[in-house]
Amino acid sequence: MKKILVIRNDKIGDFMLAWPAFAMLKRSLPDAEITALVPSYTKALAELCPSIDKVLVDCGKGADKLSKKALIQTIKAEQFDASICLFSDSYNAKLVWQSKIPFRLAPATKISQFLYNHRVTQRRSQSAKPEFEYNLDLVRAFLKKLNVSASEPAAPYLTFTSDELVSQKAKLAEGLAIRNDVPWLYVHAGSGGSANNLSLSQYAELVAGIVGEKTMEVVLTAGPGEEEKARELQALLNEKQVSSVVYDKNDGLQDFTRSIACADAFIAGSTGPLHIAATVDVPTIGFFPAKRSATPLRWQPINSKGKHLAFAPPKDKDKEVAADMSKIDIDTILPDANAFLARVI
């Protein structure tokens, strides 16, 4: 297999959880050219991935017929030997089938699975393992069909040189007017609409309990449309005599990723920035619902062992109760959060 198309064309967090799969594929087949098909909003991240050789931008299932036809022609022109759909729906199934890719592997889900000629039963709805493990299982199955031994990857999946980080940290210190000689604690209170999250008052209570008498810089990160939420959190922290800065302007996702790599720890709900932080192996504290489709296990970040701490509401048969993030008691979790941060910072 000389040319392989790997499809992960959904949200940022989902794409970051595919990095171990890309790494395994590249380590196991170092001479293969690996192309990622991603949406436009993850293109910059895909271009950062050391295990991806080329990036194709997906026009998306909502695109017009001409755009979809052009995408199929582009894929055909690449003459891929194989495709791996890390998640499958009817759009992806039709795409690789219409593109006439000879070897098409995907999870065996829904009726569209019959458009693939290689399928792997996974039952992801049971959430029995992390999402990144499901992705790895697909690559393992692909390699097994080729009689190639899988080379297991390890974190970190993205690194920057010390010079890059020194330069980025100096730029941030100047732009945000913060100290460069104390730990930086990043807090991302936005969710991008992808998962339930703590309330701003819970975040304020948590950060105040972490900072206490410590000397550290608190950086409140915000993506597009999340600036107001970060400002509201900053106001709540001011009331608790905790100083913070809002970081809501950057030069794109690659610049934002380099900025995240400068953090000493990153706190967020189950959202894209949390998974970006894990990809560069910044220690993470994540907050997740307890419902089966969104548990800390299913959406576990790809940090190295010991660099991630997760919290969720108490388990409950009622899905709404299990997803109620107000059930996370900040006073109860603070000792564990502080002990974790004391160990990793």
Q: Which domains does the chain have, with CATH numbers?
A: 3-145 (3.40.50.2000), 162-344 (3.40.50.2000)
Give me 139's structure tokens: 């690559």
| Number of C-beta neighbours around residue 211 at 10 A | 19
Dist. CA 32–CA 330, nearest whole Å:
48
For residue 195, the model assigns a pLDDT of 66
Nearest to 301 by CA among 324, 328, 325, 283: 283
Using a 10 angstrom Cβ sphere, with 0-12 exposed, 13-18 middle and 19 or more buried, the burial of residue 239 is exposed
For residue 209, the model assigns a pLDDT of 98
| Number of C-beta neighbours around residue 345 at 10 A | 14
For residue 294, the model assigns a pLDDT of 87
pLDDT beneath 50: ranges in the chain? none
pTM: predicted TM-score of the whole model, two decimal places: 0.96
Dist. CA 264–CA 307, nearest whole Å:
11
For residue 315, the model assigns a pLDDT of 84
For residue 318, the model assigns a pLDDT of 85
Indicate the angle between helix axes 19-28 and 131-145, nearest 10 degrees.
20
Nearest to 271 by CA among 7, 44, 50, 15: 15
For residue 3, the model assigns a pLDDT of 98
Give the ranges where the chain is alpha helix by DSSP (H).
Answer: 12-16, 19-28, 43-48, 65-78, 90-98, 131-145, 162-176, 200-211, 227-239, 253-260, 272-279, 319-322, 330-344
Dist. CA 262–CA 182, nearest whole Å:
12
CA 164 to chain centre: 22
Per-residue pLDDT tens for 72-85? 999 999 999 999 99
User: Considering all CA atoms of the chain, what is the largest pairwise distance in Å, rounded to the nearest integer?
Assistant: 62
For residue 215, the model assigns a pLDDT of 95
